[in-house]
Amino acid sequence: MFRQVFPIEELAKANPNEAHLFLSELENMGKDIVVITQNIDGLHQKSGSQNVLELHGTLFSATCPKCKTVYSLPREEEVPRCTRERPKGVCGSILKPDVVLFGDPVQHFPEAVERIQHADLFVAIGTSLEVSPANALPLYAQGKKVLINRDETPMDHHFDLVIRGAIRDAISGIKGKLTSRH
């Protein structure tokens, strides 16, 4: 059941898309980039981004709820358990993936708000902006705000620029504009 609910092995095979790679390229060019994501797939890190705030956690680690030992995932067991030695033997508790489940607090939210408040530019890419509290993040931005999304969102009117269409096409156009200036 654990592997059906959390398909870690399948996610580990996934590759970053154009948006992931573009953000990583900007960071490699020396831009002060912080990626704030609701995704739990680790693709931003896989693309090379170093400064990533995962609001909903990651599927690639799990924590023992009893002794708080953190483990890397995936592991071989069908149901991963804590192997930490304790005074009365092995802990043995079932590990909880480090993802936000219903009722759990969102991770890194205060840090995300702080970074957004001081950013020159806030860009939201591929999001419905319907999941709370992350949908409120654009409201904290003091700088220019850009939304790149295929569909309309309830927050469109809060953005200075809305680019409607496929993310791949939008990123390609932005890259073209940036490289033609140099």
Distances (CA, A) of 181 to 20, 72, 99, 174: 22, 43, 41, 11
Q: Which of 44, 56, 157, 158 is catalytic?
A: 56
DSSP 97-111: EEEPPTTSPPTTHHH
Q: Is 35 annotated as a binding residue?
A: no
Q: Report the Cα–Cα distance between both ends of the chain, in Å, rounded.
A: 52
Beta bridge partners of 57: 99
Q: Is 85 annotated as a binding residue?
A: no
If one counts every other C-beta atom within 10 angstroms of the C-beta of residue 27, the result is 20
Long-range Cβ contact pairs of 159-165 (< 8 A, separation 24 or more): 159/124
56 tagged catalytic: yes
Q: Is 83 annotated as a binding residue?
A: no
Q: Is 153 annotated as a binding residue?
A: no
**Binding site members for Zn(2+):** 64, 67, 82, 91
Active site residues: 56
**Binding site members:** 64, 67, 82, 91
